[in-house]
Structure 1
């Protein structure tokens, strides 16, 4: 081995786990410290949770769920509530995708020279929409829309519009600027540039975001019924309140089947979009 080979070995030692000049290392250390502080500050009764008495109580409670109620009349009621939950989530997600795209346009800076006067106020609006949970939106909208799926659908649409609007704005801002710059150089207006250059590039990503949020809204729609917003959640809250545990088990099974079907359909659709 000559001097050059000795000075430049064919292998490299792995980097140290922590480097004082590494910003990511300090960030990771800060997150770890917050996690440790969370465990220390919370009064977590682990010994009581895993005690023999607690395990026996949990076993007795779970035993009350069996056998599930499989009467045809009740199964038809669960199937209708599942369809109502599915419709709430689909319509709420569709409305949210339309509103999110409308809000994403002023919330994004499409090119370096854009003034984007409405970017900051629109992003503040999107932050406000998604900061309020769906359950709170449903409780507020029940006052005007009344009990039933209308309030749940609107609650999903309002909250999800804030989420999708922010994701859509980020996708639009990160889109490759070459095709749009070429159209601007030809004097094409901003709306046509967005329609013919930017949107075709980010459309698969926008659809993927929308499908993923639809999966989440299925679960959220099932929970919104607890406050009277219709669907499986309302049926669940009613029978759990009356301690009809067999019926409750059937409703929970319907939720699991519905979520599994939607997850599989959404996953397949995202795979097709990624091709």
Structure 2
């Protein structure tokens, strides 16, 4: 005898209202923006685009320039790695308060600070920090650390709040200190998820670090801005290829590490 499946719950009016509001927002967005699709796909636009792209070939392959590009790529990689490590430390420190482990007032203050940190994009952080730190990769590293601290702090706090609290409480009841109970009960539960978040943000930071040089934060982005401003398209093509290879390398390494963690 087959069992009948339970009837689907009825749709609430608020759900339909939210869906209609989203559709209206999408329609209003298309109506308000001057999207010139006909001009974009016109033969003149295609000819100009092909002429522009032809200027990038062949990429610059002089040994001296390739060495300079490799050094800039290492600088970009270092910015992303150090910025992510600093963000892990800052995000972990803020996540403890944001998870409500020190009271409601501290939780609200930490949540507000995390919202501010991650609401400001990396380019804006870099523009602000260039005034204090000067041109170069130091400002870019601090910009990545500031923005990513807000992102990781929120993710770490959610992971701490959603984990099972009973193992930590059991250790505390049996005489363990709160710090030891956290390190031996709660942290092992959340550590794989935190490491996965960290690696994912490292992937994003390598792309952001390659762009931060546009505002003078060093690395491949600064080289790209320099050569494009002088219309040295072949040199710019080499820099773009280096950026693509670097991002692909970091993506592959991060994917392999995350896959090893989940096994």
Calculate the TM-score normalised by the size of structure 1: 0.90
Q: Which residue of 1 aligns with 2:253?
A: 265
Q: Deviations over 1:178-231 (max 9, x none)?
A: 211212322433322221111110000000000000000000001000111000
The answer as to 2:99 corresponding to 1:101 is no
Contact 1:108 1:116 in 2 (8 A): no
Structure 2: stretches of 5+ with no match in the other structure: none
Contact 2:100 2:106 in 1 (8 A): no
Q: How does 1:199-218 map to 2 (within 5 A)?
A: 199-218=187-206
C-alpha distance in 1, partners of 2:238/2:15?
48
Q: Which has the higher helix share?
A: 2
C-alpha distance in 2, partners of 1:271/1:23?
40
Match of 2:241 among 238, 253, 265: 253
- Structure-2 change in CA distance of 1:273 and 1:27 (3 Å): farther
Q: Deviations over 1:136-178 (max 9, x none)?
A: 1111111111111100001100110011000000000001122
Structure 1: stretches of 5+ with no match in the other structure: none
Contact 1:69 1:249 in 2 (8 A): yes
C-alpha distance in 2, partners of 1:22/1:13?
21
Q: Deviations over 1:241-271 (max 9, x none)?
A: 0000000101000000000000000000000
The answer as to 2:135 corresponding to 1:144 is no
Q: Which residue of 2 aligns with 1:61?
A: 52
Give the drift of 1:88: 0.4
The answer as to 2:33 corresponding to 1:42 is yes
The answer as to 2:147 corresponding to 1:159 is yes
Alignment RMSD: 2.0
The answer as to 2:69 corresponding to 1:78 is yes
Calculate the TM-score normalised by the size of structure 2: 0.94
C-alpha distance in 1, partners of 2:148/2:97?
18
Q: Which residue of 2 aligns with 1:91?
A: 82
Q: Which residue of 2 aligns with 1:122?
A: 110
- Structure-2 change in CA distance of 1:131 and 1:56 (3 Å): same
Q: How many residues align?
A: 263
> Quick check: 53-62 or 261-270, which moved more?
53-62
Contact 1:225 1:237 in 2 (8 A): yes
The answer as to 2:65 corresponding to 1:51 is no
